[in-house]
Amino acid sequence: MKELVIISGKGGTGKTSITASFAALAVHPVLADCDVDAADLHLILQPEIQTSENFVSGHLAEIRSGDCMQCGLCMAVCRFDAIKDFNVDVMACEGCGACVEFCPEQAIDFPEQECGVWHRSKTRHGSMVHARMHPGAENSGKLVSLLRSEIRKIAEKEKATVVLVDGSPGIGCPVIASITGADAVLVVTEPTLSGEHDLERVLQLITHFRIPAMICVNKWDINPKMTSRIEALAKSMKAVPVGRIPYDAAVTDAQVNARALVESSDGAAARAVREIWETIQKQLFAEECCHVTS
């Protein structure tokens, strides 16, 4: 069983559409939507939720006004300006507990924080875990780690061949949690100056964690010259280019119809995604390629 994480230095490059297509093409996949900030995979895969659990992580300070002597020490120790007029601004509170520790009246409670809800589900292509963060909630990195460990358990139980993870954008906390320990990463990028810049940063991150990386260029024909430049950059950073997807209105149409691209189209983009999946499988299962069928 192999775990492939699909990420993009930059958001909106087509990561989720590609993940959904891989889900349709893979033999026995299980799926995790770890883009917890903008979880969209469920819009295509229409999961049937089997179980739901609250995601509880970290704490939030709460001043009991009846016991508060308004000495102001809490404000002095809070580095996040989260206390105003002896009330805690939940959007600013970092959950460090400094105010709780140093309040001379012990007038500050520190309840556990409910950050979101996560689900185990069934889809037409396999089991899936996904989540929804509460607005403004913290600890998305921890939620990502939880989702990945759950889907690996499910994969083992079901003897799945591949775990597909729709990862998070950026290079910070959630994406670090998305890729650590994965077998391979596919970076979806676009042939733009910012796409090139973000790819370079995210490949530095992947190298830092020593994970084999592949890249594909979406909407490559918008700027063929930049596509070549991006592929050369990838190679120089030891990432393997696995294909190019042309600009194709069928991608948006598939989204609108809640289908994966390869389920609803046989056009140029769908064909490109099929080829990319074949190439990825060969990379992913290189040492056991004789067992791979598709």
Query: Residue length, the chain?
Result: 294
The smaller minimum CB distance to other proteins, of residues 24 and 230, is found at 230
At its nearest, how many Å lie between other proteins and the CB of residue 190?
7
Which residues make up the interface to other proteins (CB under 8 A)? 8-13, 16, 36-38, 40, 43, 58-59, 77, 79-80, 91-92, 94-98, 101-102, 133, 135-138, 140-141, 169-174, 176, 190-195, 197-198, 201, 204-205, 208, 219, 222-223, 226, 247, 252, 255-256, 258
Alpha-helix runs per DSSP H in the chain: 15-25, 41-45, 73-77, 98-102, 140-158, 173-179, 193-208, 224-236, 250-256, 261-264, 268-284
The smaller minimum CB distance to other proteins, of residues 20 and 129, is found at 20
Q: CB count, 10 Å around CB of 97?
A: 15
At its nearest, how many Å lie between other proteins and the CB of residue 276?
19
At its nearest, how many Å lie between other proteins and the CB of residue 91?
6
Using alpha carbons, select from 52, 108, 55, 54 the residue that is nearest to residue 77: 108
Confirm if 119 and 131 have CB atoms less than 8 A apart: yes
At its nearest, how many Å lie between other proteins and the CB of residue 65?
21
The smaller minimum CB distance to other proteins, of residues 16 and 123, is found at 16
Distance CA 55, CA 283 (A): 35
The smaller minimum CB distance to other proteins, of residues 253 and 275, is found at 253
Long-range contacts of 108-111 (CB under 8 A, 24+ apart): 108/61, 108/62, 108/63, 108/64, 108/74, 109/61, 109/62, 109/63, 109/64, 110/59, 110/60, 110/61, 110/62, 111/59, 111/60, 111/62
At its nearest, how many Å lie between other proteins and the CB of residue 80?
8
At its nearest, how many Å lie between other proteins and the CB of residue 242?
21
The smaller minimum CB distance to other proteins, of residues 47 and 195, is found at 195
The smaller minimum CB distance to other proteins, of residues 134 and 282, is found at 134
Please name the residues in contact with 210: beta carbons below 8 A apart, sequence gap of 6 or more: none
The smaller minimum CB distance to other proteins, of residues 75 and 173, is found at 173
Using alpha carbons, select from 36, 141, 138, 143 the residue that is nearest to residue 91: 138
Residue for token digits 């996560």? 118
The smaller minimum CB distance to other proteins, of residues 10 and 125, is found at 10
At its nearest, how many Å lie between other proteins and the CB of residue 35?
9
Residue for token digits 């490109």? 272
At its nearest, how many Å lie between other proteins and the CB of residue 78?
8
